[in-house]
Amino acid sequence: MNFAPFLRAFALALLLCIGAVAAVLAYAGADFPAPHFSRSASFNEKARWLRGALAEGPRRDGRCEVLVAGSSMALNSVDGSLLAAGGERVINLSSFGVTPEDTVEMLRIVLPLCRPKTILMAAYQGDFRQWQEQKDIAWDRVRSYLTGGSDMRAHLADFDPWYLVERSLAASELHRTDTYMSLAFDRTGGARLDCTTAYRMEKRWNADLLETVTPARPEALAAMGEIARMARAAGARLVIAVPPLRPRAERNFYPAERDALWRAVSAAIAPAGGTLVRPAGNAGFTDAEFADYAHLNRCGAARWTRLVRSDMERTGR
Amino acid sequence: MLFNSYEFLFVFLPVVLIAFFAVARFSQAGARVFLALASLFFYGWWDWRYVGLLLLSIIVNFALGGAISRAEGRARSRLLLAGLGFNLGLLGFFKYTNFFLGTVTEVTGHDFGMAQIVLPLGISFFSFTQIAFLIDVYRRIAVEFNLTNYVLFVTYFPHLIAGPVLHHKEMMPQFAAPEMGRARAEDFAVGTALFTIGLAKKVLIADNFALFASPLFGGAESGAEPALIAAWAGALAYTMQIYFDFSGYSDMAIGLSRMFGVRLPVNFASPYKSTSIIDFWRRWHMTLSRFLRDYLYIPLGGNKLGERRRQVNLMATMVLGGLWHGANWTFVVWGTLHGLYLTINHAWRKHRGSAPGTAASRAGSWALTFLAIVVAWVFFRAASFAGALAVLRGMAGANGVVLPEKLGHIAGGIAAHLPLRITFSSDIMFNYFSVTHGLGLGDPKRFFALLGIGAVLLAMPSSQELLARYRPVLEMREPEKRGLQLTGRAGIAAGIALALLFFACLANLNHKSEFLYFQF
């Protein structure tokens, strides 16, 4: 019996598949995906960006005046260049779906590398909601990577060809700002979305009609308290800023429940000197300044960042 | 080292295969020594400290085996008892010390603390393999005493960690055969096919079911009371997970061994197709069942001493079989349940005879058997009685039923009049539990799709049946003309299909998890 055709076909097909993966990865070139630290591509890419930013900035000259932290709210809705107007160095740590618990872990890694004067956290009610997607972040590996571990080692520690191919095929997200999935980080690490309506998705635009507001997870509130304590221990001022919602949502989207949630957050951070800011100007935003019901686009982000900055300067705490 | 890891697939296996056949060209004995050393390296990859323990166990058993074979009269029995005492003592110390201390603490109320003991990987398997060897020597069935072959027989890496449980008499002739070390395309093709099927069972099926089973049992352990659908989803997910995980491992072990030209015994034969518990135990973990039958049930008297004694022997065998799986009372309950099932099954068979039933009665028998198996798995998987009972209460509907929100409009009125507590929610899969514990069963559509795939795979022929024409396992004396063809044009199609399956597994290896039976 001749088994050679089977063995040859098996080997050849397998080599072709592996070759196809190698070709896709080679094609990705400079857009080769970040190491696989978690299920969140946004988090992984941000870790890679941070590694570069920390290596070229604070660790070299010890400067890092403002850390921006949080979820997509901080990623999309904060214009870091406006915070850096006085020459401050701004580093945006945020990525999609980051919870307060994740921010605690991230700050544990970053604060020893970078001593900020201010930690600005842009947050919305979704960051505290009951159900959060499991990201399975390998914090030990993130720590080792951000403190100088090699890129190659980080890739080999959790080699996932599926992920690498998937991300290589989605590499345009690293450059495009006309998609909700944008990971086109600016100089400060923010990813601001275009001021057009072309990429708007109905479901996200009207999500205020579908979602609810639930009381904050106790774990998330505890994490907020911990963030405040960490900021104080690092000699930094903690400001939690709440961006506006679309005008309709700002008026109708469970306002009482949101007020209660922010009171709880404020109470959690106050003992360690943290401040919660809900700029009075939040009510004045128009639909044209939003990418969806909660995320500001580039135009909205610029106006809101100025509002927050002026609030911070006014209060001076 | 796991079979489902890049280091095994791309470094260890190719290097060992190439070196083994290269050495065999010059010396067969040298090839066997090399394979034994490679197997020790494979074992030591997990923790080098326990290689010494494994070698000690091998040397003591080999020496005792030789002594038993030379001794006569009562000395033989004394030496056998010493050997059994040594193996059971080793197993007892590493596996059951903390179980014993915990139980005494529970009973007396005095805290005896816990010993710092790490369970050496595969100890249950290599202990049983060597107990069987000593008894076979005592019965004058095992007569060959070649140290290299014996070391290889115990350490042979395809079976060392999680079986199949081997008999000395079925392996030694193969190790000593003149063909040993001669590379054959058929062995490599059949081995590759079986290994790929096993890898796919583990990586693509079992590990995905685990995502639904673990949150349910974890949640129940933490005090949550799952509702009907979530409880059943978790229990069924585990039922599928353990089968695809362990039979996948067995297929991989048999396939790997076949690459070296050595056939291993069959370990699974579509157990979930069983229409009775007796049938189930002839199809599930067959080499363990064979061990328990030959070295425990029959020495206890088997069915030769009357019906009552048979029931006692069955119960004793199954309870000890349960305890072998793990040092926890939940495993004892699992074994006891299966002992009861078997006793009832034998009584029923005696009462009704074994005449073939109608299609409907066969379907009913299958359903009842499967239900009994699923219920028993709940105890097997749960870490405590409380956890197991919480899941079983959920499966019985005692925690109510959560139905999809959409059905509320249609069935809301009827639900109010039913004895069950029915609620309508978008969360039928226990995801609410993630609120406090970060766990949830996830997407119900994904679960039901996976369950469908699992059911189709269960209905298909087993991997051994698929490759029956190439006699993949020891028991098949004659090749059969059915299943996959690995030669000629059909072989090309099979090669491409299996390569794609292998590649799909490779792409998912980063979610690698240990095999469930590594812990036993």
Residue A242 has pLDDT above 90, yes or no: yes
Residue A107 has pLDDT above 90, yes or no: yes
Angle at CA of residue B231, ends B445 and B452, nearest 5°: 35
Check if B188 contacts A (Cβ < 8 Å).
Answer: yes
Judged by CB atoms closer than 8 Å, whether chains meet at B189 and A7 is answered as yes
Q: Indicate the burial class of A47 (C-beta count within 10 angstroms; 0-12, 13-18, 19 or more).
A: buried
Examine the residue annotation and report whether B325 is marked as an active-site residue of this protein: yes
What is residue B187's predicted lDDT score, i.e. its pLDDT?
A: 94
Pairwise CA distance, residues B90 & B82, whole Å: 12
In contact, A302 and A262? CB cutoff 8 Å: no
Q: Which 3-state string (H, E, C) describes B269-294?
A: CCHHHCCCHHHHHHHCCHHHHHHHHH
Q: How far B13 CA lies from chain A's nearest CA (Å)?
A: 15
DSSP A33: P
Confidence grade of residue A161 (pLDDT, cut at 50, 70, 90)? confident
DSSP string for B198-242? HHHIIIIIIHHHHHHHHHHHHHHHTT----HHHHHHHHHHHHHHH
Measured between CA atoms, the residue of chain B closest to residue A219 is: B436
A chain contacts of residue B492, beta-carbon cutoff 8 Å: 5-6, 8-9
Nearest Cα to B165, choosing from B176, B152, B154? B154
Q: Tell me: the pLDDT tens digits for A165-191?
A: 888 888 888 889 988 889 999 999 999
Beta bridge partners of residue A69, listed in sequence order: A121
Judged by CB atoms closer than 8 Å, whether chains meet at A5 and B487 is answered as yes
ipTM field: 0.81
Pairwise CA distance, residues A134 & B404, whole Å: 23
Active-site entry in B168, B285, B325, B338: B325
Tokens representing B172 are 């030694």
Residue A293 has pLDDT above 60, yes or no: yes
Q: Tell me: the pLDDT tens digits for B427-476?
A: 555 554 443 344 455 667 778 888 888 888 888 888 988 998 888 888 76
Chain mean pLDDT for chain A:
88
Percent of chain A with pLDDT over 90: 53
Q: Tell me: the pLDDT tens digits for B369-413?
A: 999 999 999 999 998 888 999 999 999 988 877 777 666 666 667
Check if B88 contacts A (Cβ < 8 Å).
Answer: no
What is residue B308's predicted lDDT score, i.e. its pLDDT?
A: 85
Interface mutation target, options A1, A2, A10, chain B, most CBs of B under 10 Å? A10
What is residue A84's predicted lDDT score, i.e. its pLDDT?
A: 81
Beta bridge partners of residue A238, listed in sequence order: A119
The helix/strand/coil state of A96 is coil
Q: Indicate the burial class of B341 (C-beta count within 10 angstroms; 0-12, 13-18, 19 or more).
A: buried
What is residue A62's predicted lDDT score, i.e. its pLDDT?
A: 58
Looking at this protein, which amino acid is placed at residue A307? L
In contact, B277 and B264? CB cutoff 8 Å: no
Judged by CB atoms closer than 8 Å, whether chains meet at B491 and A6 is answered as yes
Confidence grade of residue B479 (pLDDT, cut at 50, 70, 90)? low
Pairwise CA distance, residues B8 & A205, whole Å: 49
In contact, B257 and B152? CB cutoff 8 Å: no
Residue B86 CA neighbour count, 13 Å, CB half: 22
DSSP A88: -
Pick B502's closest partner by Cβ from A14, A21, A159.
A14
Q: How far A15 CA lies from chain B's nearest CA (Å)?
A: 9
Interface mutation target, options A3, A6, A99, A128, chain B, most CBs of B under 10 Å? A6
Q: Tell me: the pLDDT tens digits for B205-251?
A: 998 888 888 888 887 887 778 888 888 988 999 999 999 999 999 99
B chain contacts of residue A6, beta-carbon cutoff 8 Å: 189, 193, 486-487, 491-492, 494-495
A chain contacts of residue B499, beta-carbon cutoff 8 Å: 9-14, 17
The helix/strand/coil state of A68 is strand
Measured between CA atoms, the residue of chain B closest to residue A215 is: B435
Measured between CA atoms, the residue of chain B closest to residue A163 is: B507
User: Comparing A36-45, A152-161, B188-197, which segment has the lowest mean pLDDT?
Assistant: A152-161
Pairwise CA distance, residues A67 & A309, whole Å: 14
The helix/strand/coil state of A256 is helix
Confidence grade of residue B49 (pLDDT, cut at 50, 70, 90)? confident
Interface of A with B (CB under 8 A): 1-14, 17-18, 21, 36, 130-132, 134, 158-163, 165, 217
Pick A1's closest partner by Cβ from B487, B489, B506.
B487
User: Comparing A155-164, B77-86, B341-350, which segment has the lowest mean pLDDT?
Assistant: A155-164
A chain contacts of residue B469, beta-carbon cutoff 8 Å: none
In contact, A126 and A294? CB cutoff 8 Å: yes
Cβ neighbours around B154 below 10 Å, total: 26
Cα-based distances in Å from B381 to A286, B102, B358: 55, 19, 34
